[in-house]
């Protein structure tokens, strides 16, 4: 790649051709403030709308100030970020944004974690300089997962780029002009009436609280306070490698023991592990895969753990709706088992059991409302709170997380294998399924359980596994834009696989819409994935079908794998949804 030579604040810089001033400045440790710009190379997202104008700089030879996020470097360019003119212009832009922004910072969801607030503080802005008309738009709380507050939108359009170009769902666009501009769904439709899949990636890139999850914290506190209820909680695989970030622990550090201890201190009666549900999912999915393979069933089989991806196929690819596995997602499986198997085993009235899931994404909030995810008139899961919401609850309770002793999950829904841990990262579900399917199809022990070919951050991955002389072809996609590409190829007969894993979020659940904000730091996301693989590597049991409590579950309660009772409790169905 050819190099461009320029100076920034008098410092010589050698930058790649096509690089913007903002990125070139980082080479010499110069930070240019910006609110609309976001460049995440690994997921191919570049937002260069230059709408906020907070990154204005002076370029020698140019009369007007240049937006550093959208101006590419050229040979011999001389840039100044520190002139009075540039600094005053940036301050003015932020002051204008603040003039049309609510001043409820003390009670805002993003207080102390808001990029607008942070930049205003860094620029020393202590009062609203400009007074005038303020936006007053309708708030949207129609969905069970995503809350929109357009009054806090600064029109950076990061959400639009993420939704339309990366995820290809196509919900957001800027409408109207000038002061009346608003980023919203087409025709101003409420979110519940759109084809939004609630992946929550828009909330991950939003710099303010214009887009947030619908909070279930108050509901959880209420049930915890009700002594007539038996309130149990479960934790998704990825939570244990992201929760510690809030407490100054390294990204990817395993905080499972402290997490369990913290949940007990919040008052939950039992602390179960979603990983147990993941092991059950694999047992059922692997069985379903083998049955289809032997009996000429519809191929490829697609994993169905991610509710965002499931809703995506229901809207966008209705003719493929019969190929995903019919298995419920792991937390739904654990939910139904808590209200059946666990309830019967310990003689607890299922109607008094409240299942709370700690999840990495906001789509799980939507998932629990699906009518088909009920048994005996009871929801499989009652409430979902995200990693961020759990952090909020721990703060409310004054729990010193970092200094908690390690504690173990409760049984019988607490033991899990390493295969379940890797569910939280792209490639993990299919790798876990391969470990079990291989042994069942060959009647031989799989000595090397690591399938490195399905790992990593490539958006689309392929692998071939020799099972009894059969070349089993695997496809892996993460991020819905990559999923669309893969599914289109299947529709056209251009791609032929036996099994496919799809996760809606780039990187998988470790980058879910409810995880701690990372604002484009993909190295942090990679560290989270590495943390899960480390947990898996350190376990004695690394194959789902070897989980002794899963074996006991089938022997005592479910009967045959894939049998009538297992299908009744652990499987679901999907439905075609309108494409808007």
CA–CA dist 381, 206 (Å, integer): 28
DSSP state of 400: -
Q: From the candidates 114, 305, 361, 505, give the one annotated as an active-site residue.
A: 305
CA–CA dist 39, 32 (Å, integer): 14
367 is catalytic: yes
Q: From the candidates 238, 509, 526, 543, give the one annotated as an active-site residue.
A: 509
509 is catalytic: yes
62 Cβ neighbours under 8 A, 6+ residues apart:
none
DSSP helix/strand/coil, 512: coil
552 is catalytic: no
305 is catalytic: yes
403 Cβ neighbours under 8 A, 6+ residues apart:
none
Q: From the candidates 58, 284, 367, 439, give the one annotated as an active-site residue.
A: 367
288 is catalytic: yes
Rounded to 5 degrees, φ, ψ at 44 are: 55, 45
160 Cβ neighbours under 8 A, 6+ residues apart:
172, 173, 174, 183
Comparing CA positions, the residue from 200, 211, 203 lying closest to residue 364 is 200
Q: From the candidates 51, 184, 308, 325, give the one annotated as an active-site residue.
A: 325
Comparing CA positions, the residue from 218, 213, 183 lying closest to residue 198 is 213
Report how many helices (DSSP H) and strands (DSSP E) the chain contains, helices first: 19, 21
Show the 3-state SS of 83-94. Answer: CHHHHHHHHHHH
Q: From the candidates 364, 365, 461, 526, give the one annotated as an active-site residue.
A: 364
Q: From the candidates 14, 222, 372, 523, give the one annotated as an active-site residue.
A: 372
Peptide bond into 300 cis (omega under 30): yes
325 is catalytic: yes
CA–CA dist 223, 268 (Å, integer): 10
Q: From the candidates 109, 245, 285, 439, give the one annotated as an active-site residue.
A: 285
DSSP-H helix ranges across 39-134? 84-99, 115-122
Q: From the candidates 288, 314, 389, 431, give the one annotated as an active-site residue.
A: 288
Q: Which residues are catalytic?
A: 285, 288, 305, 325, 364, 367, 372, 509
């Amino acid at each position: 790649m050819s190099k461009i030579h320029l100076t920034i604040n008098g410092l010589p810089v050698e930058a790649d051709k096509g690089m913007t001033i903002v990125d070139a400045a980082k080479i010499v440790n110069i930070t240019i403030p910006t609110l609309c710009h976001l460049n995440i190379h690994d997921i191919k997202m570049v937002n260069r709308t230059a709408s906020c104008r907070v990154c204005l700089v002076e370029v020698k030879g140019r009369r007007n100030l240049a937006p550093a996020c959208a101006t590419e470097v050229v040979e011999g360019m001389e840039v100044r970020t520190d002139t009075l003119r540039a600094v005053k212009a940036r301050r003015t832009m932020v002051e204008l944004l603040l003039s049309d922004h609510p001043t409820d910072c003390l009670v805002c969801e993003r207080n102390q974690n808001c990029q607008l607030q942070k930049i205003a503080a860094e620029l020393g802005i202590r009062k609203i300089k400009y007074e005038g008309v303020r936006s007053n738009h309708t708030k949207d709380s129609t969905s069970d997962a995503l809350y929109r507050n357009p009054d806090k939108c600064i029109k950076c359009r990061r959400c639009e780029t993420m939704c339309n170009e990366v995820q290809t769902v196509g919900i957001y666009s800027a409408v109207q002009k000038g002061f009346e501009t608003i980023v919203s769904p087409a025709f101003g439709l409420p979110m519940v009436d759109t084809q939004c899949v609630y992946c929550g990636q828009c909330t991950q890139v939003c710099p303010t609280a214009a887009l947030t999850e619908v909070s279930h914290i108050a509901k959880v506190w209420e049930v915890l306070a009700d002594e007539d209820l038996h309130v149990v909680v479960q934790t998704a695989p990825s939570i244990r490698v992201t929760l510690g970030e809030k407490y100054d622990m390294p990204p990817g550090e395993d905080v499972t023991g402290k997490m369990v201890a913290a949940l007990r201190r919040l008052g939950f009666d039992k602390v179960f592990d979603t990983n147990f549900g993941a092991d059950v999912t694999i047992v059922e999915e692997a069985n379903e895969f083998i049955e289809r393979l032997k009996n000429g069933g519809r191929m490829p089989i697609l994993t169905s753990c991610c509710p965002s991806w499931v809703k995506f196929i229901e809207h966008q690819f209705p003719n493929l709706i019969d190929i995903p596995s019919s298995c419920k997602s792991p937390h739904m499986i654990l939910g139904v088992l808590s209200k059946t198997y666990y309830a019967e085993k310990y003689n607890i009235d299922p109607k008094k059991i409240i299942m709370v899931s700690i999840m990495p994404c906001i789509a799980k909030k939507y998932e629990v409302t699906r009518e088909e995810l009920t048994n005996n008139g009871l929801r499989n899961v009652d409430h979902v709170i995200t990693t961020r919401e759990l952090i909020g609850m721990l703060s409310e309770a004054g729990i010193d997380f970092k200094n908690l002793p390690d504690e173990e999950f409760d049984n019988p829904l607490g033991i899990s294998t390493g295969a379940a841990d890797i569910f939280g990262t792209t490639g993990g579900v299919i790798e876990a399924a391969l470990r079990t399917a291989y042994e069942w199809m060959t009647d031989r022990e799989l000595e090397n359980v690591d399938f490195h070919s399905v790992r990593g951050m490539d958006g689309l991955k392929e692998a071939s596994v020799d099972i009894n002389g059969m070349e089993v072809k695997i496809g892996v996609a993460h991020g819905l834009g990559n999923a669309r590409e893969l599914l289109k190829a299947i529709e056209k007969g251009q791609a032929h696989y036996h099994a496919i894993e799809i996760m809606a979020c780039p990187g998988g659940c470790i980058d879910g819409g409810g995880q701690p904000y990372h604002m484009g730091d993909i190295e942090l996301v990679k560290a989270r994935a590495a943390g899960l693989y480390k947990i898996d590597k350190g376990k004695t049991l690394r194959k789902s079908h070897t989980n002794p409590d899963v074996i006991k579950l089938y022997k005592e309660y479910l009967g045959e794998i894939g049998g009538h009772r297992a299908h009744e409790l652990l499987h679901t169905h999907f439905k075609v949804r309108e494409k808007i």
